[in-house]
Amino acid sequence: MDASAEWSDVLDDTPEQLDEHEVDRLGRYVLCRRLADGGMGTVYLAKAEGPGGFERAFAIKRIHPHLARRKDLVEMFLDEARLSARIHHPNVCATVDFGEADGTWYLAMEYLLGESLASLVREVTQRPDLLATERWRGLVARVVADAAEGLHAAHELTDEQGSPLGVVHRDVSPQNLFVTYDGAVKVLDFGVARAEGRIHQTRAGALKGKVAYMAPEQVTAGASVDRRVDVFALGVCLWEALTGRRLFKRDTDVETLSCLSTLTIAPPSSVVPSIEPALDACVMGALERDPEARTATARDLAQALEAYLHARARPVTRADVAALMTERFSGRKAHKHEIVRTELAAVREERSGVVPVTPPPVAGGTASLVGPPRVGEATPSFVPMASAPASAPAPAPAPASASASARWGIAAALGVVAVLGIGLLAWSLRSPGPTAVVPEVAPPAELPRPAEAPPTEPRVEEGAVDMDLSDLPMDEPASPREQAPRRRRATTRTTPPTPPATEDARPGRVNVVTRGGWADVYLHGRLLGRTPRSVELPPGDHVLELRPFGETPGRQVRVHVEPGGVERVVEPVSH
C-alpha cells in the first residue's frame, strides 16, 4: 500500500459556518466559526473583547447542550477544565478560562494556527524523497522531544500540598500533537486523562483513548496504568512519523487490538534503512511491551532524542520546524490567517455597523487561568466582560454588505487549536467587575418570618451541576435550538401570600461559579467544596461564604432557593 494512503483517515479540518439556530455568544466570547464537532462537544473560533480596543481570538470548547444533563459527561468536562488549567508548560495547550453559559459548560483555550502531526506526516508521505532524509528525521526527533517534555510536565503535576496527582494523558496520538506554523509543539486534549482526585472515575473495562496508540497494559483487564502508557504512545507516534507507515492500526479495532499483543515490532530502520541506530534505540525503548523494560519517563525519552540531535552535525531548532511548516503548508497558512482576520473583522463590523476597508490584524493576548494555583505560584485574574441580560433586546443586524458575504463565504481548511499564552494581564490588574448573583427577591421584611429551625444539612454533590440525571443515549442528536437558561423572576408583594394547603419542601439547587480563579464555598461554617460547585439546599434564604483561593476573610453571598428550583451564583475573584 502507498504510504500516503495509510493516512487517508486524517480529516481535513475545514471550518464550518455557524447554523442559524446556533448561539453566537458564550459568556463574554463571540462565536465566529465551528472548527470541530465531536461526540462530546463542539470547538469554535471565538473572539473576546476588552477595554481600550483589546481583542483576541480563542478556541472555545463547549459540551453539547443535550449532554449537559448527563452527570457523568459533565463530570468529565469539569475534570478536564480543572486539570488542564493547572498544567503550565510551553509544550502543553492550556485552558485559560472556564465557565457556564446558556445551560452548558465551556472551556476557553488560546488559539493558534498550525497542523496536527498526523496532517504533517500525511503531507510528507506524498514526498518519499523527503521522508528518507536526515532533515526529516531530525525534525521528527525535535517535535517528539518537545511533546515528551510537555507530557512530562503533566506527569509531574502535584496538588497544593505537593502530592503527585498521577496524571496520565491516555490519548497521545499524532492527532493530539500539534505543530504551529512558527514551529511550536503542543500536546492537546486532556479530556480522558487520569488523575488523582478526579470526580469522574472510569468504569472497569472501559477503554479510553485511540486503540492504535494504546500500550498493552491499557487493554489488559486489571492491569495498572501509569505514565509509561503515554511513553508507549509517543513511541508509536515516533515510529509512524519516521516511516510514514501505521504500526498497529488495521481496518477494525479487533484487528488492531490483536496487533497490539501479537505483532513483532520491527525497528523503523527496517522500513527506512537510513535511520541511525541511535534513533532506532530511542524508538524501541519506548515501544517495549513490558512496562518495566520500557523507557521509564517522557523526560527520559526526550533526553534520549536530544542526545541523538546533539550528535548531529548541526542542531535542529524550532526555526527549522517552522521552515518546514512554511514550505509544506504555505498556501494553507496564508489562507487560514486571512480567515481569522476576516472573521474577527466581521464580528467587529456587526457590533459597530462600520465596514472597514481592510480587515485589521489580530491583536495578541490571552485570558487568565482558572483553577487552583500550584504551590508558590501566583494566579492571575481577570475582570469578565458583562453579558447582556436575557431581557435585553437583540442588537439590530448589521446592514448587508461585503463584510457579511466575506464572513460567511469563506470555506477553506483551517486547522486551529488552543495553546497557552500570557496576555490579558492588564485585566488582572483591574478591580473585580460587578458581582453577578441570582435576581433579588422581595425584601425579607415584607414576608412572614418563619419559626426558627436548626440549619438543614445541605446535600453536596461532588462536582455536580444543574442537570437532568435521566440516562440519555450517547448518540442522541443535539437539540435543533439552544435553550436559554432558566431564570427565576423576582416578585414584590405588598401583602403576604396565602400559604398553600401543602408546603412544598423540595430542595433546590445552587450552582456556584467563580471567574478569575477558584474559591472555597462555606455554609454555616461548613466547607461545601471548591468552585465550580453545585449543592442542594432546602427552600428559603441562605448566606454562602466564598473564600477566594482559600483566603480569609471571605465574602458573603445571599441566595434564595425555590422548591425544586435552580439558582446560579457568579462571583469574580482575585488575589
All cell numbers assigned to 448: 412572614
Query: CA-to-CA distance for 98 and 368, rounded, in angstroms?
Result: 10
Phi-psi region of 308 (alpha: psi -120 to 50; beta: other; left: phi over 0): alpha
- Determine phi and psi for 66, rounding to 5 degrees: -75, -15
Nearest Cα residue to 440 out of 567, 547, 556:
567
Beta bridge mates, 108: 60, 97
Beta bridge mates, 306: none
Query: CA-to-CA distance for 184 and 205, rounded, in angstroms?
Result: 36
Is residue 24 among the annotated active site residues?
no
How many Å separate Cα 185 from the centre of its chain? Answer: 17
Q: Which pairs with CB-CB distance under 8 Å and at least 24 residues apart come from 68-71?
A: 68/103, 68/104, 68/105, 68/465, 68/467, 69/467, 69/468, 69/469, 69/470, 69/472, 70/467, 70/471, 70/472, 71/464, 71/467, 71/469
Catalytic residue among 146, 171, 280, 466: 171
Q: Based on the number of CB atoms within 10 Å of its own CB, is 45 exposed (0-12), middle (13-18) or buried (19 or more)? A: buried
Query: CA-to-CA distance for 508 and 487, rounded, in angstroms?
Result: 14
What type of residue sits at position 279?
L
Query: CA-to-CA distance for 189 and 224, rounded, in angstroms?
Result: 22
Residue corresponding to grid cell 466570547: 29
All cell numbers assigned to 92: 502543553
CB 309 within 8 A of CB 145: yes
| The Cα angle at residue 18 between residues 329 and 568, in degrees rounded to 5 | 120
Query: CA-to-CA distance for 325 and 114, rounded, in angstroms?
Result: 8
By annotation, the residues acting in catalysis are 171
